[in-house]
Amino acid sequence: MNGVLSVLLDIFRQPSIIVALISLVGLAVQRKKATDIMKGTIRTMVGFLVLAAGASVVSGALDPFGSMFQHAFNVQGVVPNNEAIVGTVLVKYGSEAALIFFFGMIVNILLSMTSRFKYIYLSGHVAFYMATMVAVILEVAGMSTWGVILWGSIAQGLIVTISPALVQPFMKDAAGTNDVALGHTGGAGIALGGLVARLTRSKKHPSKSTEDIKFPAGLGFLRDTTVIIALSMAVIYVVVALFAGSSYIESELSDGQNFIVFAILQAATFSAGVFVILAGVRVVLGEIVPAFKGISEKLVKNSKPALDVPMIFTFAPNAVLIGFISSFVGGVVGMGIMALAGSTIIIPGIVAHFMTGGATGVIGNGQGGVRGAVIGSFVNGLAITFLPLFLLPVLGDTGMANATYSDADYGVAGILLGQFGKGGQIGLIIGIIASVVVFYAASFAMSAREKKKAAVEAK
């Protein structure tokens, strides 16, 4: 009997098996054919193993980068890249993260059913990334495995329900419709950018829309994520390599290979690893998210789907490029401030600035045209530079890696959970319960205000 239990425990410690079982349950709920269930379950397991393989590639490319940066500047340089840090976390906390992700989706549905915030979060990959961060913080606080899963799922559900609600007040102006919501872990930074754009717009001298600007067709390659990661990381690696010096790199890291060639290959390897991770994530979530969507549509009336960032890019393509550039400039300014302060340096993460900066550009354009897109995205760039820095201490040993979480929601939610965690398990439990109370209080207050407003208009 003990032998059987030991085998079962070994099985359930494997994250790939956990996510495969989640896929199996989701497909069975949809009443799929037995052959489809088997195919989907196997694809999910293989997809997760592909993800893990990509994570080792990214980690391997970041190790020499960290050594070069440390040698060149005598400070730690951290790259905010979700795929890189998630790959590292899954090796240790994969099972807990997978279960938090699954039960967090259920909590999202329950919160949407029982409040005015009816946003169903369908951006599965970033929700999964969020689950890994929640798992790390609760583990660092000393919670038991079951406590991590229970309270982590509640925290996860709250985060993915609140994030779309923060951006929604700006969506109608940007999209021309109120029927869809933004589901992305950059929600807090994007909402902040939209608010700043609204506060800084001029009624006397309104700025023209970004879509009135004609951009050269040659800049279209900037919309290819793989290309932009490879190019930008090549520049970053080569610059750091030049400061580190050829003698150090060729004697300590590259085994005699030319230091510039080594730096470029490591940057390309980093990009390849991210590509592999994304491929694995797409396979895993391609089986799980459809089941979640089908269930939520039946249970939550008048719900809004919270969709990934590319959905919002179509509303103002020029604003995406303007937002990306402005956000990146904000990241460079933030990095300069950290360098002057002598702290750990957060190197601008290209993917984060492209995704969240581009989205903030679209939101900012809806509030204040070109001016709103530029100012709002710049503020977002500052936010996603400093928030990862403040997040590092609450991640325990994981925060000492050469990569970290990049988007604003990770910073806001992670820092808040980290503060709760200073009180140990009890502090976390009280903090999460208090957050649920505040969530429903806000829902009640907003509903009451809307009813009062409707009554006044009816008179």
The 10s digit of each residue's pLDDT in 308-331 is 777 777 778 778 778 888 998 999
Mean pLDDT of 447-455: 81
Look at the alpha carbons of 106, 111, 116, 119 in this order and tell me if their dihedral is positive or negative. Answer: negative
Mean pLDDT of 300-305: 76
CA distance readout (Å), 246 to 169, 182, 240: 52, 46, 11
Q: What is the pLDDT of residues 27-56, one digit of tens each?
A: 787 778 888 888 888 887 888 788 667 767
pLDDT above 80 for 244: yes
Look at the alpha carbons of 385, 386, 387, 390 in this order and tell me if their dihedral is positive or negative. Answer: positive
Residues 180, 300: Cα–Cα separation, whole Å: 15
The percentage of residues in the chain with a pLDDT greater than 90, rounded to a whole number, is: 27
Judged by average pLDDT, the poorest of 13-17, 171-175, 233-237, 418-422 is 13-17
Question: If pLDDT is split at 50, 70 and 90, which confidence band does 11 have?
Answer: low
Question: If pLDDT is split at 50, 70 and 90, which confidence band does 92 have?
Answer: confident
Q: Which of 131, 82, 435, 117 is nearest to 306 (CA)?
A: 117
Mean pLDDT of 260-283: 81
Q: What is the pLDDT of residues 137-170, one digit of tens each?
A: 998 888 888 899 999 999 999 999 999 999 999 9
* Domain membership of residue 264 as a residue range: 3-458
Q: What is the pLDDT of residues 396-447, one digit of tens each?
A: 776 556 678 889 999 999 999 999 988 888 999 999 999 999 999 999 998 8
Of 388 and 351, the one with more pLDDT: 388
Residues in the chain: 459
Question: If pLDDT is split at 50, 70 and 90, which confidence band does 189 have?
Answer: very high
Residues 398, 323: Cα–Cα separation, whole Å: 30
CA distance readout (Å), 139 to 136, 148, 378, 418: 5, 7, 34, 11
Q: Which of 184, 265, 272 is nearest to 227 (CA)?
A: 272
Q: Say what the pLDDT of residue 281 is.
A: 67
Single pTM value for the model: 0.76
Question: How many domains is the chain partitioned into structurally?
Answer: 1
